[in-house]
Amino acid sequence: MTGKKNIFAIIGSASSDSANLKLVEQIASLTIDLFNVTIFNDLKTLPHFDPELSAGDPPASIVAFREAIEKSDGVLICTPEYVFSLPSGLKNALEWCVATTLFSEKPCGLITASASGQKGHEELQLIMKTLMAKFTDDTTLLIQGVKGKFDEQKNLRDTETIRKVDAFIEAYKSLVINK
């Protein structure tokens, strides 16, 4: 491999200081030798999906969001589950990509980190399959009870979760590097 790969990480949480953000920041620091990770933690700045604008003249914020996906070597999505579903901001962002081929064969890592998360995780995988994203079972990760997995300094402390995150990172590295 020559040079670092560019990863666009999308944080699905509506909170500016979420456990999902902390998790992605830790993944970014663990992969700093391989990846340049750009974190997008501001889904609320994207306008509500409009299919007519999407196909014609999308807003500048959507153009920039799409370009970040297109220029990346891989995408990492880390999201909580809200009411057994994806957060509306993340669903909205993904809807802006439906009429594109941005995710077609794009290496993706999909993490759902929430209190439960199972239904949101299933929904995220279904949407990303529909968008033809490239991911495997090993590049998806469900972390349940996420708030209890961090210490006071917001570092991941749960040994089983650390092991799962490490395995996820190895699989994701392989997917991105060997694309």
Render pLDDT for 89-108 as a digit per residue (tens, 0 to 9): 999 999 999 999 999 999 99
pLDDT at residue 93, as a whole number: 98
Who contacts 6 (Cβ-Cβ below 8 Å, separation ≥6)?
A: 35, 36, 38, 71, 72, 73, 74
Each domain of the chain, given as residue ranges in start order, spans 5-177
pLDDT at residue 124, as a whole number: 99
Name the pLDDT band for 158 (thresholds 50, 70, 90). Answer: very high
CATH code at 5-177 = 3.40.50.360
| Average pLDDT score, the chain | 96
Spatial contact of 118 and 87, defined as CB atoms under 8 Å apart: no
Name the pLDDT band for 2 (thresholds 50, 70, 90). Answer: low
Render pLDDT for 12-24 as a digit per residue (tens, 0 to 9): 999 988 999 999 9
